[in-house]
Amino acid sequence: METLEFKPSAPLTLGVELELQLVNTRDCDLTRAASDLLALIERRPHPGEIKPEITESMIEVSTGIHARYAALLAELRAIRGALVAASDRLNVCVAGGGAHPFQHWSERRIFDRPRFQNLSQLYGYLAKQFTVFGQHIHIGCPDGDDALYLLHAMARYVPQLIALSASSPYYQGVDTAFDSSRLNAVFAFPLSGRAPFSLKWGEFTAYFERMRASGIVESMKDFYWDIRPKPEYGTIEIRVCDTPLTVEKAAVLAGYAQALCRWLLVERPNRVSEEGYLAYTFNRFQACRFGLEGEVVDTASGVRRSILEDILVTLDAIDVHARELECEEPLERVARIAREGNDARWMREAFADGGSLPDLVWLQSRRFRGSE
C-alpha cells in the first residue's frame, strides 16, 4: 500500500516528462511503433528514461533531476538525438504537439500492459480519446506544506502555461477553434480539475486516505489534476502544458516555471486561499480557447487583462529570481513566444500554407528534429 510520506527534495530542482507522438512516414498518421522503438533504444545506454504510454503510438521520455535550465536543455537535446536516430532506422517519425491533428481515436491500440488494459476497460472510449500528449514539469519542494503552498499559488499562473504551450488546435481532423484542445480530453475524466484546497500536508493525507478508504482511488496516479503533489519524488507536478513542438521550448517552459516557483516560494507575493479559485475554470477556458489573447480575471485584485499582458507583468516581477537561477535566456524566449505567438498559431499558419493535415504533421516532425 502506498504511504503518502513526502520525501523532501532539493528545492526548485527540475525534471521534465514529455509525451510524444509516433507517426508513420507515409501519411503521418499515428502508428504502432512504441514497442519496436523501445526495444531498439534499450539495446544500449541512452540519456534520460524512455517508457511506453497507454497506446502503441505514444512514448514518454523523462529527464533526470536538474538544478539549472542549461543542464536540462542539454539532456533533452541528447534524448531527442537518441530518439531521432532510432526512429530513422525504423522509418517512424517522432513529433511534438498536444494532440494528433487527424487521428481517429477508434483506431488506437492500447499498449499491452495490465495497468493500461485496466484503464481501457474502466474508461472505455475515453481511454482511447486520451491519446493526447502533454508535458509534465516537476519542481522539487523541501516539504509537504511548501509543496501544497506552491501548488495552490501556481494555480493563478496555470492559464499562462496553457497559453504558452498550446499546440493542439486540430483534433480528429478539424480545427477546434481552441489553441489547446487537449485539455478538453482531460476534463472528461471524473478525477480531473484541481486539487482540494489545504495547505497542511497532514490534512491532504487525511483527504487522500478518505478517498482511498471509500474506494474512489487506489493511488495518487488516479487523480488527473492540473497540478498534483508527487510525494515519492518530493515534487509538485505541473500537468497543464501541451507537449511543445521542440524540446527547446519544453526546456523554456520548465525554466519559466522554475523561476515562477522561486518567486512564489521566496517572496510569497499572493495570498493563497480557496477564494483564489473563483475564476479558475473561467481563466483556464480562456487560455485553452484563445491562447495568449485570452483574458484572465484576478478576483482578489479585480484586475482583468489579456494573458499576454499578464505574462509580461509576471516576467518583470520574477526577473531577479531568474538571475539567481541562471535562467534569463528562457525568460527572454517566453517574452518572445508571448509576442510572436505560440505553437498553435504556428500550426495554423503552416496548415494554411501547405493545405493538408498530413503535411502539417510532417512539418511538426521536422521541427522536432531541430532541422527547422
Partner 1 sequence: MSELFFLPSWPPAGAIPWYALLLLAAAIAGELTRRWLRLPRLLGWIAAGVLLGPHATGLIDAATLGGMRGILDVAVGFVLFELGQRVDLGWLRRNPSLLATSVLESALAFAAIFVVLLALEARPLFAALAAAIGIATGPAVVLSLTRELRAQGQVTERMLLLTSLNCVYAFITVSMLVAWLHHEYSGEWLSILSHPLYLIVGSLLLALAFALATLGLLALLGRREDAQFIAVLALVVAAVYAASLLKLSGVLVLLGYGVMARAFDVKRRFVSLAFGRLGQILFILLFAITAASLDIGLLPAGALAGAALIAARYAGKALGVLALAPLSGLSMRKASLLALGLMPMSGVALVLLHDTAALFPRLGPDLSGVVVSAIVMLEVLGPAVAYFALVRAGEADTTGRT
Residues that bind partner 1 in the complex, under the rule CB under 8 A: 24-28, 31-33, 35-36, 39-40, 86, 88-91, 107, 109, 112, 354-356, 358-359, 362
Nearest to 106 by CA among 24, 153, 10, 172: 172
- Shortest Cβ 33–partner 1 spacing (Å): 7
DSSP per-residue codes, 245-288:
SSHHHHHHHHHHHHHHHHHHHHH--S---GGGGTTHHHHHHHHH
Task: Considering the complex, state which of residue 109 and residue 348 has its C-beta at the smaller distance from partner 1.
Answer: 109
- Shortest Cβ 28–partner 1 spacing (Å): 7
- Written as nine digits, the cell of 109 is 491500440
- Shortest Cβ 106–partner 1 spacing (Å): 9
Give the side-chain half-sphere CA count within 13 A for 35: 9
Task: Considering the complex, state which of residue 302 and residue 355 has its C-beta at the smaller distance from partner 1.
Answer: 355
Nearest to 18 by CA among 356, 263, 244: 244
Task: Considering the complex, state which of residue 214 and residue 371 has its C-beta at the smaller distance from partner 1.
Answer: 371
Task: Considering the complex, state which of residue 27 and residue 316 has its C-beta at the smaller distance from partner 1.
Answer: 27
Task: Considering the complex, state which of residue 13 and residue 365 has its C-beta at the smaller distance from partner 1.
Answer: 365
317 Cβ neighbours under 8 A, 6+ residues apart? 263, 269
- Residue in the block written with cell 507522438: 21
| Pairing, β 235-242 against β 227-230 | antiparallel
- Shortest Cβ 102–partner 1 spacing (Å): 9
- Shortest Cβ 168–partner 1 spacing (Å): 20
- Shortest Cβ 22–partner 1 spacing (Å): 10
Alpha-carbon gap, residue 167 to 288, rounded angstroms:
10
Burial of 331 (0-12, 13-18, 19+ CB in 10 A): buried
Task: Considering the complex, state which of residue 77 and residue 109 has its C-beta at the smaller distance from partner 1.
Answer: 109
